[in-house]
Structure 1
Amino acid sequence: MSTSPSAAQAPAPWPPLRTERLLLRPVRGGDVPAVTRLWTDPDVRRHLGGPVTAPVIRIRQRRIVGAPGFHAVVRAEDGVLLGLVTVEDGGRDGETEVSYQFLPEHWGHGYAREAVGAAVARVLETAPSVVAVTQEANHRSRRLLEAVGLEHVESFVEWDAHQVLYRRRRDSRAA
């Protein structure tokens, strides 16, 4: 998922969010190595502009621990970090934007769908809508967004790539 370079702000911290198999909670110091892998893994970053550079990683490592809006997704049974779900208020056109990244060894198990679906539901408890953006070529991400009830509403070019904007309004039903 790509995130807008706008002046988006992270929302107030959520209490931990539990699903059947997962826990979404603030990022902790012990999570930094796995989160750093998210930023540097070429497969994870394929549709996100490529791996992040070392100077940017150092800045992110200092800022991510406990940062509002960043939610470590951990498997409830063993605490293994699977990925991140990020929620930004005031993203695209003032709407709340959800993005996510998961480590490749955890792809294909439904974890991202479960975590993103829970995050979207949490956002829609208070926000009128939620949006997500992904590259048009990221077919897996597009299917996930549609599976959690977001609808494709716009296509555009940004960051030299074709992007798609998805949205779900509070009054719409989940798939």
Structure 2
Amino acid sequence: MTELTTARLCLRPFRAGDAPAVHAYAGDPEVVRYMDWGPNTVADTEQFVAEAMSPADGVHPFAVEHAGRLIGAVELRVTSRVHSRAEFGYVLARPAWGHGYAGEAAAAVLGFAFDRLALHRVAATCDPANTGSRRVLEKIGLRYEGHLRDYLHIRGEWRDRLLFAAVRCP
């Protein structure tokens, strides 16, 4: 499994001992407010970590560490090998918000997608109300492509998504 490093972060494979740190953010209703999952139960988190430790083909989950502490996750999913396309998403614990870690981790995974996996297109979505996530996506070079109406059914409610994508430069 691949490990990526940035100036401040280590993006590494998940380990069995990560469940408590993952649950600290995955069980936090404020952290998952815009996600299509959570808040997690302990069992949900343990299942996620187990699956992340043995990901399906084309799925690249990364635990995000800062100063030796797990602060979040980024996942890249290849959605089409034929069309060289993937999607990614990220989540950080609340204490890690506002420090630029999401952009740093997302940029590292975007570089991994283009440079190591030789993908052509990488997309991400965010809730229209999640202005912080939108800023992260734009800051790392994804361009706004559209508004997806009633795209996800989350906790009993239809939610829109904004679509962003980047295409690898030749």
TM-score by length of 2: 0.83
Task: Give the 3-state SS of the residue equivalent to 1:124 in structure 2.
Answer: helix
| Mapped partners of 2:84, 2:151: distance in 1 | 18
Are 1:108 and 2:101 an aligned pair? no
The match for 2:19 is 32
* Percentage identity across paired residues of the two chains: 32
Q: 1:79 aligns with which of 46, 51, 68?
A: 68
The match for 2:164 is 166
Do the aligned residues in 1 keep the contact of 2:19 with 2:45 (CA within 8 Å)?
no
Task: Give the 3-state SS of the residue equivalent to 2:108 in structure 1.
Answer: helix
| Mapped partners of 1:65, 1:167: distance in 2 | 27
Task: Give the 3-state SS of the residue equivalent to 2:63 in structure 1.
Answer: strand
Gaps of 5+ in 2: 153-157
The match for 1:89 is 78
Task: Give the 3-state SS of the residue equivalent to 1:164 in structure 2.
Answer: strand
| Mapped partners of 1:82, 1:19: distance in 2 | 14
| Mapped partners of 1:81, 1:142: distance in 2 | 23
| Mapped partners of 1:124, 1:99: distance in 2 | 16
| Mapped partners of 1:18, 1:122: distance in 2 | 11
The match for 1:122 is 112
Do the aligned residues in 1 keep the contact of 2:18 with 2:49 (CA within 8 Å)?
no
Do the aligned residues in 1 keep the contact of 2:121 with 2:165 (CA within 8 Å)?
yes
| Mapped partners of 1:143, 1:45: distance in 2 | 18
The match for 1:9 is none
Deviation at 1:82, TM superposition (A): 1.2
Q: Which has the higher contact order (CA 8 A, sep 6+)?
A: 1
| Mapped partners of 1:36, 1:107: distance in 2 | 16
Do the aligned residues in 2 keep the contact of 1:71 with 1:85 (CA within 8 Å)?
yes
Bigger strand fraction: 2
Gaps of 5+ in 1: 1-12
Cα RMSD, aligned residues only: 2.0
The match for 1:10 is none
CA deviations 1:51-106 (Å, max 9, x no partner) are 1355534432432335351101111xx31111100010117x87211100000001
Do the aligned residues in 2 keep the contact of 1:70 with 1:87 (CA within 8 Å)?
yes
Task: Give the 3-state SS of the residue equivalent to 1:133 in structure 2.
Answer: strand
CA deviations 1:99-139 (Å, max 9, x no partner) are 00000001011111111011111111110011001111111
Do the aligned residues in 2 keep the contact of 1:152 with 1:167 (CA within 8 Å)?
yes
